[in-house]
Amino acid sequence: MRFLLIEDNADLAGSVAARLSLDGHAVDLAGCLAEAEDCLRVASYDLILLDIMLPDGDGRDFLARHRLAERQTPVIVMTARSAVSDRVDALDTGADDYITKPFDFAELEARCRAVLRRRGGAAQTQRSFADVVFDPLAATMLVAGEARDLRSREVRLFELFLSAQGRILSKEHLVDRLFSFSEPVSDNAIEVYVGRLRKKLLGSRARIETVRGLGYRLTEG
């Protein structure tokens, strides 16, 4: 998943980005609202983490504009303001969740997962395709009764395929969803990750097909 983190505290932003990156997420950093708007003009995101007090304005104004433009990207507000009125205001403005600073990284990760599940219409953490049972929290897939461990980026890649079953995903789309602006990406990076995922799926009916000149798609064979 690709996240946009809008936070002017460089130390906190770096720590949050590093923690989320361990889960295989790509995280772009914006230290102000202007930078955030620049990011949104050139990339799409699965989740936005938004501070309220920013150098060039109030995050709630950004949130209001975000919803007025009918952008559906979920938003979690991160702020030191803990009053009930502040939480109600943020949620009424269009936030999907609210977390108060200082927060535990584990709680932030859990809130991210919960918001993404709600937006995806899934209540359960485990998902199934063909004869594969996929558990993103445990970073495993069960194939013919055998648990196979996945690396963090393999987890995110399989999530992308599951969300687009039968549809072709281009290399460019996969790069956009898996890597942030700051990450160097080699020409064959996607081929490497797809190859690793195919090995984990050996023995199952799930197949990642190469559609020449177009990309890849998840099918049942």
27 and 115 fall within a common domain: yes
Residue 120 has pLDDT above 70, yes or no: no
Which of the listed residues 95, 120, 145 is the one where a domain comes to its end? 120
The pTM for the full model equals 0.83
Bridge partners for 138 per DSSP: none
94 and 158 fall within a common domain: no
24 and 102 fall within a common domain: yes
pLDDT of res. 162: 93
Which of the listed residues 72, 95, 120 is the one where a domain comes to its end? 120
116 and 180 fall within a common domain: no
Give the residue numbers spanning the domain of 170: 127-220
pLDDT of res. 77: 96
57 and 88 fall within a common domain: yes
CA distance 150 to 134: 10
Which of the listed residues 76, 96, 120 is the one where a domain comes to its end? 120
CA distance 30 to 13: 9
151 and 110 fall within a common domain: no
Residue 73 vs residues 34, 148, 149: alpha-carbon distances, Å:
18, 32, 30
104 and 164 fall within a common domain: no
160 and 112 fall within a common domain: no
CA distance 182 to 26: 9
pLDDT single digits (tens) 44-62: 999 999 999 999 999 999 9
Bridge partners for 129 per DSSP: 132
Q: What is the mean pLDDT of residues 161-175?
A: 93
pLDDT single digits (tens) 64-87: 999 998 888 999 999 888 888 888
Residue 22 has pLDDT above 80, yes or no: yes
pLDDT of res. 124: 58
The neighbour count for residue 143, using CB atoms within 10 Å, is 20
Residue 221 has pLDDT above 60, yes or no: yes
Non-local (6+) Cβ contacts of 127 within 8 A are 133, 134, 136, 162
Question: Three-state DSSP class for 20?
Answer: helix
Q: Which among 198, 97, 115, 216 is positioned nearest to 161, based on CA atoms?
A: 216
Q: What is the mean pLDDT of residues 26-39?
A: 97
pLDDT of res. 210: 96
pLDDT of res. 119: 77
The neighbour count for residue 64, using CB atoms within 10 Å, is 13
The enclosing domain of 150 has a CATH number of: 1.10.10.10
Count: domains in the chain: 2
pLDDT single digits (tens) 90-102: 999 999 999 999 9
Most confident of 6-15, 80-89, 118-127: 6-15
Non-local (6+) Cβ contacts of 166 within 8 A are 217, 218, 219
